[in-house]
Amino acid sequence: MDLAHNELAWLLATCPEGKYRDGAKALEHAEKACQLRNWEDPLYFDALAAAYAETGDFEKAVHWQGRAMQGDGQPVAQEDEIRLNAAMEAYKAGRPFRYGAQSSTSNNTQP
């Protein structure tokens, strides 16, 4: 159930088509996913950060993206590292991250 909440949060926060985005619902689902994982899964922090960015709270987005980037001590795939860094750059610039949006650094996809 936690994965479903996380994936829905990611979609609601990062979909390039505005009609599918809803920051408040994204935040609700991201927080639920993190709660179900006892706030111990850094990959879920990525969706939480995206949700905060979609609601315009870039300070919290940067905080949670930083936590996601710290990881859990396991190696991160290069594709994930590129996406995590691209999202952090967007949040620091006061922009939300868009899933699938064209970028010079990555294709902005989450596994």
Answer whether residue 70 is part of any domain: yes
From first CA to last CA, the distance across the chain in angstroms is 17
Q: Residue 50's CB: how many other CB atoms inside 10 A? A: 32
Position 68 scores a pLDDT of: 94
Answer whether residue 106 is part of any domain: no
The structural domain count of the chain equals: 1
Answer whether residue 110 is part of any domain: no
Position 101 scores a pLDDT of: 61
Answer whether residue 18 is part of any domain: yes
Position 111 scores a pLDDT of: 38
Residues of the chain with pLDDT under 50: 102-111
Tens-place pLDDT, residues 63-82: 999 999 988 877 788 888 99
Query: By residue range, what is the domain housing residue 58?
Result: 2-92
Residues 68 and 45: beta-carbon distance below 8 Å:
yes
Answer whether residue 73 is part of any domain: yes
Q: What is the CATH number of the domain that holds 79?
A: 1.25.40.10
Position 106 scores a pLDDT of: 37
What is the distance between the alpha carbons of residues 48 and 54, in angstroms, rounded to a whole number?
10
Answer whether residue 98 is part of any domain: no
Radius of gyration of the chain (CA): 12
